[in-house]
């Protein structure tokens, strides 16, 4: 890994810059967590190797009106914009002449039904409702779609405070970074013994399965794309997962190296001022 792009030094420097940009929003998000959405929000202490939360629950909610309004909004968005009970999207071709062919229309309708079936079988709609709520309350909702062994794919929504985002030249989100603590047993189970650091191996061998280690997960455009490669180096988007304490480079120093043909993230920003990365929504007004 000789490219500067594929170095942890470059990644950590970018994370530091994005954390600085996000820091101005954290106090408002913490208040929203405290008085509106106690089930959402995860704020990690960057100085703690164990990843303890610096913002503790239980909630100090004094009025349930914003929380009830948020729940109503989520239900209304699902039923009105993306209900699993009816066809809320359709596929079309860019060529209007081809859309006149009945065979083409039938083919697209069948494809749409297949996608609708997969969406209904997965946890997509549950995740989408959380994204609707996060975008309204915190201004931004974000998650990723990943492969699933039985349901084709699975949706994971990140909690406010645990992830970072960045945008491309058009203002669209193209980078998602998540920093989160994981237990030793989780790391061994997901990535295998060989991929984990010696500290994780030692904790696991000693039976300290609950010992936590902060991991960093980065999904971003591959700015050193090599079309001649069939692996992650040849994919338009790349994913890096590594333990925060492991600073060395080398493919064996990463928990995961993978790539995607399409951006796997999905997001919704409720309202967005020109030039801003993070959105804002009615939750901020409810404070």
Per-residue pLDDT of the chain (287 residues; tens, 9 = 90+): 457 888 999 999 999 999 999 999 999 999 999 889 988 998 866 554 444 444 445 467 788 899 999 999 999 999 999 999 888 999 999 999 999 999 999 999 999 999 999 899 899 999 999 999 999 999 999 999 988 777 778 999 999 999 999 999 999 999 999 998 899 999 999 999 999 999 999 999 999 999 999 999 999 999 999 889 989 999 999 999 999 999 898 888 999 999 999 999 999 999 988 778 999 999 998 88
Single pTM value for the model: 0.89
* Of 103, 111, 123, 71, the residue nearest 87 (C-alpha): 111
* Of 223, 222, 144, the residue nearest 176 (C-alpha): 144
What is the model's pLDDT at position 45? 60
What is the model's pLDDT at position 7? 92
* Of 181, 199, 218, the residue nearest 11 (C-alpha): 218
What is the model's pLDDT at position 1? 46
Pairing of strands 173-183, 212-221: antiparallel
What is the model's pLDDT at position 3? 75
Residues whose CB is less than 8 angstroms from the CB of residue 7 and which lie 6 or more positions away in sequence, other chains included: 1, 249
What is the model's pLDDT at position 273? 80
What is the model's pLDDT at position 5? 87
What's the DSSP call for residue 8?
Answer: H
Nearest 5°: the CA angle 106, 262, 43 is 125
CB 154, CB 180: distance < 8 Å: no
């Amino acid at each position: 890994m000789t490219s500067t792009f594929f170095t942890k030094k470059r990644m950590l420097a970018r994370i530091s810059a994005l954390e600085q940009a996000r820091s101005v929003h954290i106090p408002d998000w913490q208040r929203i967590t405290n008085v509106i959405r106690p089930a959402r929000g995860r704020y990690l202490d960057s100085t703690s190797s164990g990843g303890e939360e610096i913002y503790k629950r239980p909630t100090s909610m004094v009025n349930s009106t914003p929380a009830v309004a948020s729940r109503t909004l989520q239900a209304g968005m699902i039923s009105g914009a993306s209900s699993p009970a009816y066809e809320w999207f359709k596929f079309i071709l860019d060529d209007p002449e081809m859309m006149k062919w009945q065979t083409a229309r039938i083919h697209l309708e069948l494809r749409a039904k297949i996608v609708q079936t997969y969406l209904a079988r997965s946890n997509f709609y549950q995740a989408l409702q959380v994204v609707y709520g996060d975008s309204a309350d915190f201004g931004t909702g974000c998650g990723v779609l990943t492969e699933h062994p039985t349901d084709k794919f699975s949706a994971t929504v990140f909690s406010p405070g645990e992830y970072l985002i960045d945008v491309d030249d058009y203002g669209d989100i193209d980078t998602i970074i998540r920093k989160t603590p994981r237990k030793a047993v989780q790391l061994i189970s997901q990535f295998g013994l060989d991929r984990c650091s010696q500290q994780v191996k030692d904790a696991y061998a000693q039976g300290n399965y609950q010992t936590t280690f902060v991991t960093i997960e980065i999904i971003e455009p591959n700015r050193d794309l090599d079309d001649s490669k069939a692996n992650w180096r040849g994919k338009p988007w790349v994913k890096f997962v590594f333990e925060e304490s492991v600073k060395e480079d080398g493919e064996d120093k990463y928990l995961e190296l993978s790539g995607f043909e399409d951006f796997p993230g999905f997001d919704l920003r409720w309202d967005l001022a020109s030039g801003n990365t993070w959105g804002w929504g009615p939750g901020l007004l409810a404070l």
